[in-house]
Structure 1
Amino acid sequence: MKDMTARLNAESLRARLAGPNPPRLLDVRTPGEFATSHIAGSYNVPLDMLREHRDELRNHLNEEVVLICRSGARAGQAEQALADAGFRNTRVLEGGVMAWEAAGAPLNRSEKQRWDLERQVRLVAGSIVLTGVLGSLVVPGLQWVSAFVGGGLVFASLTNTCAMGMMLSKLPYNRGATCSLDQVVSQLAGDRR
């Protein structure tokens, strides 16, 4: 994996965006998260689409690319996927949209707010654990479901992946107004600087 020099903080990104050769911004969150709020000028290329079509995307990204997500974790995974495809001119917005907003930088917001993927995972995992523990009072052994979910969360933390998050990202709630790879590529090609 690339070292931390490939990270860019919010202040540095703001300065680069105001400069003569601003980087391309790819937001790898779900379409639902992107629709709720995003940095102006960014393109939504969900992480699963980026992984699946990284070779095609690489052919349309000649300039520096800054990858964005909620906190930086998914953007780091996107950076690795693009690096594996031979693309080296990427950076990750350190702390993601949360750090961008905390720095007082502007976000385009929708009136319709959606829960971000991490919050959804906490709700689902917490609900399963609580149900398993309380249900074990009636059905002996049900607490093992809670143990399984806890183990999955530990694994997710150690590997910086989340199977539950990947499953939730496929739900219609998170899909929002999706666009095809062809639409993304035509937008990238049409916006050459």
Structure 2
Amino acid sequence: MEDINVQDLKSRLDAGDKFVFLDVREEWEYEEDNLGAKNIPLGDLPNRLEELEDYQDSEIIVHCRSGARSGNAKRFLETKGFSKVRNVLGGIMAYRNL
């Protein structure tokens, strides 16, 4: 699936759209800027995959600080059979500038 920019993410959050929202930053980063996503740090993702298994066919939007870790998470999830994963381009840094 195509990635998503922060403007589209904000619009979808404001509208209350249904999707799985995943934050792959470390816990301390998540506590500083929490957009309401489920927090699974990238390094923990392989060991916590069962938390997402019910969403294998659901849209999953992944974000991090800049878009790099979430891009890695997207690629990892795709290798595990998740077919509708989108990365937030620019991450929380771009979101802060809205």
Coarse TM-score class (shorter-chain normalised): 0.7 to 0.9
What SS does structure 2 have at the residue aligned with 1:26?
A: strand
Identify the match of residue 83 of structure 1 among 70, 78, 81: 78
What SS does structure 1 have at the residue aligned with 2:54?
A: coil
Identify the match of residue 99 of structure 1 among 91, 94, 97: 94
Alpha-carbon distance in 2 for matches of 1:89, 1:100: 22
1:18-167 superposed matches below 5 A: 18-19=14-15, 21-39=17-35, 41-54=36-49, 56-61=50-55, 62-103=57-98
Q: How many residues align?
A: 97
Q: Percent identity?
A: 33
For the 8 Å contact 2:66–2:89, the answer to whether it is kept is yes
Deviations 1:82-138 (A, max 9, x none): 0000001111110000010011xxxxxxxxxxxxxxxxxxxxxxxxxxxxxxxxxxx
Q: CA RMSD in A?
A: 1.7
> Unmatched 5+ residue regions in structure 2?
none
Could you say which structure has the higher helix fraction? 1
Alpha-carbon distance in 2 for matches of 1:10, 1:102: 9
Alpha-carbon distance in 1 for matches of 2:16, 2:91: 23
What SS does structure 2 have at the residue aligned with 1:25?
A: strand
- Tell me the CA shift for residue 20 of structure 1: 5.5
Identify the match of residue 6 of structure 2 among 1, 6, 10: 10
Residue 54 of structure 2 aligns with an amino acid whose one-letter code is: H
TM-score normalised over the length of structure 2: 0.87
For the 8 Å contact 2:66–2:90, the answer to whether it is kept is yes
Ranked by relative contact order (alpha carbons within 8 Å, sequence separation 6 or more), the top structure is 2
For the 8 Å contact 1:17–1:23, the answer to whether it is kept is no
Residue 91 of structure 2 aligns with an amino acid whose one-letter code is: G
For the 8 Å contact 1:58–1:82, the answer to whether it is kept is no
For the 8 Å contact 2:40–2:48, the answer to whether it is kept is no
Alpha-carbon distance in 2 for matches of 1:20, 1:26: 15
TM-score normalised over the length of structure 1: 0.47
- Tell me the CA shift for residue 7 of structure 1: 1.3
